[in-house]
């Protein structure tokens, strides 16, 4: 494994276990068994490392999105695969979810990148809901309510790990999966009879 990859792997493990604020570049260098100077050859500072991990997470998101879009008779909507993927993302990159406000506050460049992702995700969720409504999969809603539903779904997907953390709940796979259950429950409440058939893999 190349030094750069070792640094990212060590940083991710430390950030996930100890939290973003508690970890310094010296801690990361020590975990890699290299000098701080060697680390700075690859990354200028801690923010630079976090940006690289954020890019990794986006690649992870991209792979999950492609998988959910593949036809699957057992999961025609792709919802179950998307929720399973969301739980994996929250587990592997937990610090990005739990410490997101602090990270963005400390890094204007990453904040700008995240805001673009934020807008894209909201737009994607909104488009999916609108298409589902046109296809008769979910009930008819007004445009303002579609926007609100998009915000609710993205809010749970984005901040469920933070909810666990601030509530003092254990950050476990089981608890992370509850976030997916909340999204599944909410989406189920929107379904029409035809939508229930589609979600069950049946034809109308």
Distance CA 82, CA 80 (A): 5
Which residues have a Cβ under 8 Å from the Cβ of 178 and sit 6 or more positions away?
A: 160
Q: Region 122-142: what's the mean pLDDT? A: 94
Contact 32, 39 (CB under 8 A): yes
Contact 19, 102 (CB under 8 A): no
> Which letter, b or e, does each residue of 170-203 get, where b requires 16 or more Cβ atoms within 10 Å of its Cβ?
eeeeebbbebbebbeeebeebbbeebeebbeeee
- Confidence at residue 64, expressed as pLDDT on a 0 to 100 scale: 56
Distance CA 80, CA 120 (A): 21
Kindly report the average pLDDT of the chain as a whole number.
90
Proportion of the chain above pLDDT 90, given as a percent:
75
Backbone phi, psi, residue 191, to 5°: -70, 145
Rg (the chain; Cα; Å): 19
Give the predicted TM-score (pTM) of the model: 0.86
> What topology does CATH give the domain 1-44?
Arc Repressor Mutant, subunit A (1.10.10)
Dihedral of CA 79/191/116/100: which sign? negative
- Confidence at residue 204, expressed as pLDDT on a 0 to 100 scale: 40
How does pLDDT run across 48-104, given as a tens digit for each residue?
Answer: 999 999 999 999 887 755 555 555 555 656 788 888 888 899 999 999 999 999 999
Contact 32, 4 (CB under 8 A): no
- CATH annotation of 51-199: 1.10.357.10
- Confidence at residue 155, expressed as pLDDT on a 0 to 100 scale: 95
- Confidence at residue 201, expressed as pLDDT on a 0 to 100 scale: 56
User: What does the domain layout of the chain look like in residue ranges?
Assistant: 1-44, 51-199
Contact 139, 190 (CB under 8 A): yes
How does pLDDT run across 30-50, given as a tens digit for each residue?
Answer: 999 999 999 999 999 999 999
């Amino acid at each position: 494994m190349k030094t750069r990859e070792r640094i990212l792997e060590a940083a991710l493990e430390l950030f996930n276990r100890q939290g973003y604020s508690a970890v310094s570049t010296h801690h990361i260098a020590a975990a890699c068994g290299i000098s701080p100077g060697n680390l700075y050859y690859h990354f200028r500072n801690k923010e630079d490392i976090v940006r690289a991990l954020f890019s990794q997470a986006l690649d992870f998101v991209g792979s999950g999105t492609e998988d959910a879009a593949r036809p699957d008779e057992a999961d025609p909507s792709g919802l179950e695969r998307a929720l399973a993927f969301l739980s994996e993302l929250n587990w592997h990159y937990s610090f990005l979810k739990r410490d997101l406000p602090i990270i963005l506050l400390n890094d204007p460049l990453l904040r700008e990148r995240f805001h673009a992702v934020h807008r894209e995700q909201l737009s994607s969720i909104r488009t999916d809901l609108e298409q589902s409504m046109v296809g008769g999969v979910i009930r008819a809603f007004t445009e303002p309510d579609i926007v609100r539903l998009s915000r609710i779904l993205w809010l749970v997907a984005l901040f469920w790990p933070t909810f666990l953390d601030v509530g003092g709940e254990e950050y476990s796979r089981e608890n992370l999966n509850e976030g997916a259950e909340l999204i599944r429950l909410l989406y189920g409440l929107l379904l029409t009879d035809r939508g229930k058939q589609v979600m069950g893999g049946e034809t109308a």
